A and B are shown apart, each in its own frame.
Chain A
């Protein structure tokens, strides 16, 4: 069981890395796109059509894609002062519960995002000027939240093992 969790967490790490890689590309992309738009606008009177909505779509997507790895590195801010003073086992029990609650919340959120995406497919909703379909971006957000959820589940399992193990 313990080995399975370790393998799972390591494998999962690769998935979260891959998502972050795409996220980085998007960030780099808008860093290039926006100056291009500004230059086009001022020097050639030819702005990039849809620069604004591309920026919105890219920002939204890059945020979701990076949520999981941020959680993996424990970078979603939390306040430690009480937990720090708890005995190790109690702390692991608490963290098992917290991570599991996070997992549940995210699964619910993922389901909601998916049903939103389905709704958008139904309606054929597209973005303003470029008429890009919106649903793939919501889907991607949903998938990112799922990955985030599984990172939390993995952590929960890890803490559970620590809590159960003899310390």
Chain B
């Protein structure tokens, strides 16, 4: 059997295992290990089974995840999250879908600066979804706004994936980072518009809040100072380079712990719960990330990503058709692989081709990040959705996947806009080029 055949069978088996309720992480482990063993040999498959998970679990850049989640848990258990949404409701509650739109904006800021979509999604899910539920928001809409907001991170600087793209293609990193800003804002506005339309079509999914007196509005604001302080401390500290994302997470968790203590909102019991829930959610997310790494090693050794991109690159069609086919390939890869892995596996093949077809490299970088992002919100391997379902346990995953579909369409819409009007992407970098 050729390695490509094994790769394809592997993907089919993976989907079957997902469908028959094998945990997502375990399915990735099994298919990845068995596939790797079949293509190389059993010994090497077994070695990967131990070394890859341990190295993933103890990677510094991923340690941001438990710390930010802990911050979210403490905020939630100490009711600081409740005060925040109370304030948002008193100011924006009269706008239909206002809470969901605010969630999108907050997630976008959080994700773009913390650099971790998973940490953002988990934290915001814990803080925002239970609150939106109290205001009788549809859980689907609440989940969709958290998932969508988180995906804006890689577009808005700083952005590790943009840097990796720049390193792989030799496109100037400064221009790439700047290029993502306007598309990021457009994407955010489209997400908010989707919420607005959704709330118009189905008013029950986003009830309008009661009208609040001005006094109430002011007093609601006065209660959110701890949250504001934390935001300035973590996001500000990160932005001004005082510390790394992991350190920001720890400072945020520690800060919320101290604030909850001095405002006497955190009992011993809730602290224990916050810690336990954090470690369990972390274990769940990391087991998927470990599995995804093993699976990704299997896919790279099967050579599917490089063969499929080479194939599409060599078809004799118009540049635009090739571009669209290429984006479809990236969409499919995005269903199964993590963003940076996709870039590393395909860019050496795809980038020279794009240059040859006359596309702008900076522009393509932005488009590709959008395409890869779709995979975060779609089955089979939509990690943002899995993270949310780890927090909102009482609705089935397939319902969350369905609820997020409008947001996926919003990303597609944004991609189409950027293909028709590439200037939206290139205007800022062009100014830089002078």
Contacts and interface: CB of A to CB of B under 8 A. Distances in A.
Contact of B23 (A35, A61, A94, A102): A102
Interface string A88-111: 000000110010011001001100
Interface residues of B, number: 58
A31 B390 CA distance: 22
B365 interface: no
Nearest to B51: A116
B280 A73 contact: yes
A70 B283 contact: yes
Given A28-B275, A67-B287, A112 B46 contact: yes
A79 B398 contact: yes
A147 interface: no
B389 interface: yes
B21 A56 contact: no
Interface in A111-125: 112-113, 115-116
Interface in B285-300: 286-288
Interface string B142-168: 000000000000000000000000000
Given A27-B278, A105-B29, A83 B50 contact: no
Contacts of A108: 46, 49
Contacts of B46: 108, 112
Contact of A55 (B20, B53, B63): B63
A62 interface: yes
Interface residues of A, number: 57
B63 A27 contact: no
B50 A112 contact: yes
Interface string A114-155: 011000000000000000000001100100000000000000
A20 interface: yes
B377 to A, nearest CB: 15
A interface secondary structure, majority: helix
A56 B49 contact: no
A101 B20 CA distance: 13
Interface in B2-56: 18-26, 29-30, 33, 46-47, 49-51, 53-54
A69 B253 CA distance: 23
Give the most central of A24, A63, A83: most B CB within 10 Å. A63
Contacts of A113: 50, 54
A38 interface: yes
Contact of B21 (A33, A38, A63, A82): A82
Closest 10 CB pairs of A and B: A60-B58, A34-B250, A112-B50, A66-B283, A24-B275, A59-B63, A76-B23, A66-B279, A60-B57, A83-B21
Given A52-B60, A109-B29, A109-B49, 17 more contacts: A23-B279, A24-B276, A27-B66, A31-B253, A34-B67, A63-B66, A64-B57, A75-B280, A76-B25, A77-B288, A80-B397, A84-B396, A94-B21, A105-B29, A105-B33, A112-B50, A116-B50
Interface of B: 18-26, 29-30, 33, 46-47, 49-51, 53-54, 57-60, 62-63, 66-67, 70, 242-243, 246-247, 250-251, 253-254, 257, 272, 275-276, 278-284, 286-288, 379, 386, 389-390, 393, 396-398
Interface of A: 20, 23-24, 27-28, 30-35, 37-38, 42, 52, 55-67, 69-71, 73, 75-84, 94-95, 98, 101-102, 105, 108-109, 112-113, 115-116, 137-138, 141
